[in-house]
Structure 1
Amino acid sequence: MFDSLRKKNSEPTVLSDMLSKQRRYDSLVRALHTDIYRYAYWLCGEKQVAEDITQETFLRAWRALDSLKDDKAAKAWLITILRRENARRFERKQFDYSDVEQEHLEDVFSSTNEDQTEQYWLRKQIAKLDVEYREPLLLQLIGGFSGDEIANMLELNRNTVMTRLFRARNQLKEALETTEAKGAVHG
């Protein structure tokens, strides 16, 4: 008799726990999907791949949702999942691009609109940065993370992250100055 009573009492708890998890997950997706997709797109530069990585990130997040103890850390948690998923993509495939193919891939983003041209130029310059500089810069610019948060995500010392951010910005500044100097000569 007590077993059947206990069983009836536990069923609503399981159902309410599942509903609670679903609500929490839905809130997470609504709040952060755009940011996660934007970061994925910056990492890979291809809409379809970014969508796939984003979807896989949220699927993995659903499976591990109980491990997220602090909802304030959800964005950093999802970015970490996304970075790992993006790395898995390279483990699964061996790429063999020629220089011509790379130029063609980059030209897909070109546009005649001045704002889009500037965005294209900036995106191209960021893509030229070494990964060790590009990744912290994107986490700061796109993700809005602090140096401490980036250090935790990348498992680096905060000073190392700050140095890499400084060097990334300097490299972009030098590229801009070089472009402006060429423009002045050709202009």
Structure 2
Amino acid sequence: MELKKVRNKKQHSPVISDMNSKQQRYEALVGAFHKDIYRYAYWLCHDSAVAQDLVQETFLRAWKSLDSLKDVNAAKSWLITILRRENARRFERKQFDLVDMDDVPLADNASLDAEATMEQQLIRRQIQMLAPEYREPLLLQVIGGYSGEEIAEALGLNKNTVMTRLFRARNQLKEALENSIDDRRQGNG
């Protein structure tokens, strides 16, 4: 009887140690990248609750696929890729309700500086108007703080391609903002 208990313990110890190892790797992954992943998720959706759901789904998928992560240095890019796919799935499932804009009351931003709010909205709108191949690398760099190499890895592109897209995105954004400011000045003059 005692021999049987010892044999069962020996058979289960590698399984338990593998599970503990996976748990430790996962906790380290979450600890290291949770803030960055949340910040990028929030930028994508502009809603705290949705961003939290996206992050939760991202880390759930990361847990399920943790054994496929071979290079620890690629973890951040790997998580960003999962997050981007989760965000895309959100739109695949969503049915948009259309509303007549005349029926929607506008929020009162009296507590915020109106000019700063308008500038932020203008910049956000101009960024959203960039083509996705320019917008995405720019957001990863500005919001996520990723390097050109990390962006290239996350998007599956060559680093030179990413750097070119970042350069073009900044130039397009600058030009669009300058044109918008010029249009405002002409309208006020």
User: CA, structure 1 residues 158+125, in 2 after alignment: closer, same or farther (shift >3 Å)?
Assistant: same
Alignment of 1:144 onto 2:142: no
Q: Determine the C-alpha separation between the residues in 1 that align with 2:5 and 2:128.
A: 62
Alignment of 1:65 onto 2:66: yes
**Deviation string, structure 1 residues 49-79 (Cα, Å, up to 9, x no partner):** 1111111000001111111122221111100
Q: Determine the C-alpha separation between the residues in 2 that align with 1:98 and 1:166.
A: 37
Q: Determine the C-alpha separation between the residues in 1 that align with 2:167 and 2:105.
A: 30
Q: Determine the C-alpha separation between the residues in 2 that align with 1:106 and 1:170.
A: 32
- Segments of structure 2 that go 5 or more residues without pairing to the other structure are none
The answer (yes or no) to whether the contact 2:77–2:153 under 8 Å persists in 1 is no
Alignment partner, residue 41 of structure 2 = 40
User: CA, structure 1 residues 104+133, in 2 after alignment: closer, same or farther (shift >3 Å)?
Assistant: farther
User: CA, structure 1 residues 95+163, in 2 after alignment: closer, same or farther (shift >3 Å)?
Assistant: farther
The letter of the residue matching 2:152 is A
The letter of the residue matching 1:63 is K
TM (normalized to structure 1)? 0.80
The answer (yes or no) to whether the contact 1:111–1:117 under 8 Å persists in 2 is no
TM (normalized to structure 2)? 0.79
- Segments of structure 1 that go 5 or more residues without pairing to the other structure are none
Paired-residue identity, %: 63
TM-align CA RMSD: 3.2
How many residues align? The count is 185
**Deviation string, structure 1 residues 94-153 (Cα, Å, up to 9, x no partner):** 43546839x989999x94276665444432321222222111111122222233332332
Q: Determine the C-alpha separation between the residues in 1 that align with 2:144 and 2:106.
A: 24
Whichever of the two has the greater Rg, that structure is 2
Relative contact order higher in (CA < 8 Å, ≥ 6 apart)? 2
